[in-house]
Amino acid sequence: IEEILDDVLQSYPAKSMKNRKEHILVKDRNKSELKIKANTRTIPGIITNRGCAYAGCRGVVLGPLKDVVQIVHGPIGCSYYAWGMRRHQGLAAEGGKNFINYTFSTDMQDSDVVFGGERKLKEAIKEAVEIFNPSTIMITATCPVGLIGDDINSIAKQAEEEYGITVMAFNCEGYKGVSQSAGHHIANNEIMDNLVGIKDKELDYKYPINLMGEYNIGGDAFEIERILHKIGYDVVASFSGNGTADQIKYSHEADLNLVQCHRSINYIAEMFEEKYGIPWLKVNFLGVDATIESLRNMAEYFADPELQERTEKVIAEELAQIEAPLNRYKELFTGKTAFLFVGGSRAHHYQNVFKRIGIETVVAGYEFGHRDDYEGREVIPDIEMTADDRNIPELEVTKDDKKYRLRISQAKKEELQQKMPLDYYGGMIKEMEDGSVAIDDLNHHEQIKLTEALKPDIYCSGIKDKYTSHKMGIFSKQLHSYDYSGPYAGFKGHLQFAEDIAAGILNPSWSYITPPWKEKTTLEGSFGGGE
Ligand code: CFM
Ligand code: HCA
């Protein structure tokens, strides 16, 4: 494998080679340190799969909130790409509002950039209130807003007073930070500062939980909620798949926060504990084995024998429906390999989904994960801050004397921490097999070279590199959009995933494609008039 990686790196100029080398790692459990470089700027000239801060804030974290009119202050193109592109689904509750089929934009023009766009934003808010009557409006800034200095924060404040509703502003201009990860952080800070805890509901739920970092892509959250309700949990709020801003306002009343995607929401999870005394549990509802482990950990946290019994009953019932076909898929797939490259958590979560059906992951990488998503939270104190990190304000939260309530004692917490990832995430690398490759911020050159050398049976990434893989004769399943299928979470979702993978890799069409490495090089041409 080292030779293959040397070959991949060979094509780079010396400086780039040195840089990229630090972003690639071969798993070797005998090594005392497995350190990877992450969350740093992409080398100029390399086309990355990454998105921008606005995408991470507006698209990822805020996008799924159903009851919010989300006004994008910026040119129309940015809004087009916020319009259902990420496939988060949302079902309005009885009498509840759902605006996620719309996209709202101030449609900034040349003249607004030159003379300022504040007037236009105020008009847009007025219009939104008159037509849609929302209880919450969120304004997100795209690049020109920060460049010309439109003050979206004071406009939000004024509008809040004028209309008597919640109006929030997010300074998530696309250029802030090195990827969409910066946008997650900006969204987290603002939600924590101005939305969580602004309403009291005095819920009398027995097992109130918040679902965090689950965005309901392809209906995953619907499936997770179905299982949780069947066991007897009540979801107070979801951050943010199928969620509402209204629920987030009283989400401080939950007793446990479940964190699915650590990368996008860990900031909020941490702050909840500090401010309200609610611990967080790293869960994973992708894959049956991980789902079962998560459900058992939750039941143990609440320490109620009745809940534990119901958990086992639901696990048995759900397993009975899928185990036999899943085992048949395992027989069919055993020996096959996968190459995964997804944002900041799925490249980890999907490894156990594949493992259960006999498929080994040979390469896995994140677009914008941080070192803790690879190596575990224990490395956080060693992560060097860069100028890009310092661009995002750090929100300091303190104990809320009125609303803080200790959920479990320190001693009990330490006891549970021996058994489960409570307030902890161990990252992706620990769970990878020896000899497999972890790669950060992959580019097309590396994708193609590694695919040629390792010839995986499945390439799992997104729309930007799906067809590069197909052209090489290798089935690609998008793990962002699920190629418009899903849900893939929970028990039934795992079976759905196996069926979709079978339909893809067993399709005879792949035998009609001759991958480039099976053909002679045919590249010819003239340069500057010569041969
Ligand atoms: Fe978390 Fe996500 Fe992901 Fe992400 Fe994303 Fe996404 Fe993703 Mo696309 S929040 S890090 S910023 S799990 S949109 S739902 S699929 S890159 S791996
Ligand atoms: C984003 C959204 C995205 C893009 C997916 C892709 C998503 O990064 O802004 O590249 O295929 O999941 O929709 O990650």
The ipTM (two decimal places) reads 0.98
Is 169 inside a domain boundary? yes
Q: In the prediction, which pLDDT does 528 show?
A: 64
With contact defined as beta carbons under 8 Å apart, do 454 and 339 qualify?
yes
Q: How many CA atoms lie within 13 A of 377 on its CB side?
A: 12
Cα gap 275→403, rounded to integer Å: 8
Domain count, the chain: 1
**Is 128 contained in some domain?**
yes
Residue with CA at minimum distance from ligand 2 atom 11: 462
pLDDT for 520 equals 60
Q: Whose CA is nearest to atom 8 of ligand 2?
A: 51
Give the DSSP letter string of 434-454.
Answer: TT-EEEES-BHHHHHHHHHHH
Asked about 460 being catalytic, the answer comes back as: no
Quote the ligand 2 centre to 461 CA distance (angstroms).
9
Element (H, E) at 365: strand 360-366
Alpha helical stretches, state H, 407-507: 410-417, 444-454, 466-471, 490-505
Whether residue 127 lies inside any domain: the answer is yes
Asked if 102 and 33 touch (Cβ cutoff 8 Å), the reply is: no
Q: Is the CB of residue 463 below 6 angstroms from any atom belonging to ligand 2?
A: yes
CA 162 to ligand 2 centroid distance, Å: 36
Residue 319: predicted pLDDT: 98
CB 440 within 8 A of CB 365: yes
The residue among 91, 249, 211, 244 whose CA lies nearest residue 490 is 211
Which residues line ligand 1 at a C-beta cut-off of 6 Å?
A: 56, 60, 86, 180, 213, 215, 217, 261, 263-264, 342-346, 480
Domain-located, residue 304: no
Specify if 88 maps to a domain: yes
Catalytic-residue membership of 52: yes
- 294, burial (CB in 10 Å: exposed 0-12, middle 13-18, buried 19+): buried
C-alpha–C-alpha distance, residues 307 and 38, integer Å: 40
Cβ neighbors of 509 (< 8 A, separation 6 or more) are: none
Residue 86 alpha carbon, nearest atom of ligand 2: 13
The pLDDT value given to residue 335: 97
To test the pocket of ligand 1, the residue of 264, 284, 441 to mutate (highest count of ligand atoms within 8 Å of its CB) is 264
Instruction: Using the mean position of ligand 1's atoms as its centre, give its distance from the Cα of residue 344 in Å.
Output: 6
Question: What is residue 95's predicted lDDT score, i.e. its pLDDT?
Answer: 87
Strand partners, 105: 72
The answer to whether residue 181 is domain-embedded is yes
How far apart CA 367 and CA 504 sit, in angstroms, is 24
Residue with the two structure tokens 């998503």: 373
Q: Distance (Å, rounded) from C-alpha 335 to C-alpha 458?
A: 12
Q: Are 348 and 427 in contact (CB under 8 A)?
A: yes
Residue 364 pairs with which residues in a beta bridge?
A: 340, 438
pLDDT for the residue 531? 45
For residue 454, being part of any structural domain is answered with no
Helix and strand element counts for the chain (H, E): 21, 14
pLDDT of residue 518: 76
The residue whose two tokens read 């209204």 is 246
CA–CA separation, 56 and 222 (whole Å): 22
CATH number at residue 140: 3.40.50.1980
Residue ranges, the chain, pLDDT below 70? 520-531
Q: Assess whether the C-beta atom of 59 lies below 6 angstroms from ligand 2.
A: yes
Whether the Cβ atoms of residue 441 and residue 506 lie closer than 8 Å to each other: no
310 is a catalytic site residue: no
Residue with CA closest to ligand 2 atom 6: 462
132 inside domain: yes
Q: Which domain holds residue 104?
A: 53-194
Residue 141 and residue 52 in contact, taking contact as beta carbons nearer than 8 Å: no
Residue nearest to atom 14 of ligand 2 (CA): 480
